Amino acid sequence: MQSEVFITCAVTGSGDTASRHPGLPITPEQIANASIEAARAGAAIAHIHVRDPQTGQASRDVALYREVVERIRASDTDVIINLTAGMGGDVVFGSGEHPLPLNPQGTDMVGPMERLAHVVELLPEICTLDCGTMNFSLGDYVMTNTPSHLRAMAAKVQELGVRPELEVFDFGHLVFVKDLIKEGLLDDPVMIQLCLGIPYGAPDDPGTTMAMVNQLPAGATFSAFSIGARQLPFVAMAVLAGGNVRVGLEDNLYLSRGVKASNADLVTRARTIIEAMNVRVMGPAEVREKLKLKKVR
């Protein structure tokens, strides 16, 4: 257990959640404002996806990312920007006896450099790198990240001077992280996000959590989170395990049973839990120094 931790707020995500929460940030202005509000509540890092303002569905449109980032950077609130690079790795197979052709509804598979187009242009301090392929939830959807694509993305992110946040959903993903380290594709300090409780990755029970923590590369900085009703209880689990914290509407829509949350609400509650454990919440300047981030712009 550490004496100080930082909070990441994942403000909107890419899931089909807009219809389930009227306050979910959708437009660039809403996503930027939610990031700023989360920062004012105590989040050092805003993890950002963008959505089509008309449909609310996930998007890879660089112009949308640009507007979000410019709005945040123009504000009077300091927050570390963490842009997803997970979009463009989505495969939905045809159902039953006809897996091919792929289902165009939900399939969005592009090359590694196209997945990084917004990162190349906007140079955030952090971007994510999903570290493996996984059957993600129900149906015929597969989160698809091939080793060659991931190596190409890691090399490009390293060249840009952007810190990759390595998204680890299961034990095999940690094996791949260690291979990237051996190959010189990751600079210190290595930053890992343990994504737990997501079907069909690693479960979020304490035994599994600690087993994954015990397999982390030496010297790695990590955060951990769970989803849905376990998001807020897992704040304490992450801190006890020696890690940092992630909350936000990407992973959980509720503050308590039947009570819809805002991102700022979830950060405030996380901060309350952390400080009740006699642990200090770090600000963005401290996190920037801890992670050796390059504030390019």
- Tokens at residue 164, please? 């990759």
Over 70: is that where the pLDDT of 296 sits? no
Q: Which two tokens stand for residue 64?
A: 């949308």
Instruction: State how beta strands 259-260 and 254-256 pair.
Output: antiparallel
Q: Which of 15-24, 25-34, 180-189, 203-212 has the lowest mean pLDDT?
A: 15-24
pLDDT of residue 207: 97
Confidence of residue 124 (pLDDT cuts 50, 70, 90): very high
pLDDT at 181: 98
Residue 165: its pLDDT value, please?
A: 98
- For the question of whether the overall pTM of this predicted structure is more than 0.85, the answer is yes
- Better-predicted residue by pLDDT, 294 or 37: 37
pLDDT tens-digit readout, 41-68: 999 999 999 999 999 999 999 999 999 9
Q: Are strands 244-247 and 7-10 parallel, antiparallel or unpaired?
A: parallel
SS (H, E, C) 200-233: CCCCCCHHHHHHHHCCCCCCCEEEEECCHHHHHH
d(CA 7, CA 211): 22
Q: How are beta strands 244-247 and 221-225 bridged, if at all?
A: parallel
Burial class of residue 100, CB neighbours in 10 A (0-12, 13-18, 19+): exposed
User: What pLDDT is stored for residue 294 in this prediction?
Assistant: 83
Instruction: Spell out the CATH class of 4-290.
Output: alpha beta
| Partners of residue 63 on adjacent β-strands | none
134 and 169 in contact (C-beta within 8 Å)? yes
Mind listing the pLDDT tens digit for each residue in 225-266? 999 999 999 999 999 999 999 999 999 999 999 999 999 999
What are the CA-CA distances from residue 114 to residues 13, 87, 189 (Å)? 19, 10, 26
pLDDT score, position 295: 66
To 10 degrees, what angle do helices 231-240 and 263-276 make? 40
pLDDT computed for residue 137 by the predictor: 79
Cite the DSSP H helix spans in 75-198.
112-115, 117-122, 147-160, 171-182
Pairwise CA distance, residues 243 & 210, whole Å:
11
Of residues 155, 175, 165, 154, the one with CA closest to residue 217: 175
User: pLDDT confidence of 160, banded at 50, 70, 90?
Assistant: very high
| d(C-alpha 250, C-alpha 12), whole Å | 5
Query: How is residue 289 written in tokens?
Result: 């120094």
Instruction: Quote the percentage of the chain above a pLDDT of 90.
Output: 93
Does the pLDDT at position 297 exceed 70?
Answer: no
Residue 62 near residue 121, CB atoms below 8 Å: yes
Q: Distance of CA 220 to CAs 16, 177, 223, 279, Å?
A: 32, 11, 10, 20
pLDDT confidence band for 1 (50 / 70 / 90): confident
pLDDT tens-digit series, residues 73-104: 999 999 999 999 999 999 999 988 999 999 99
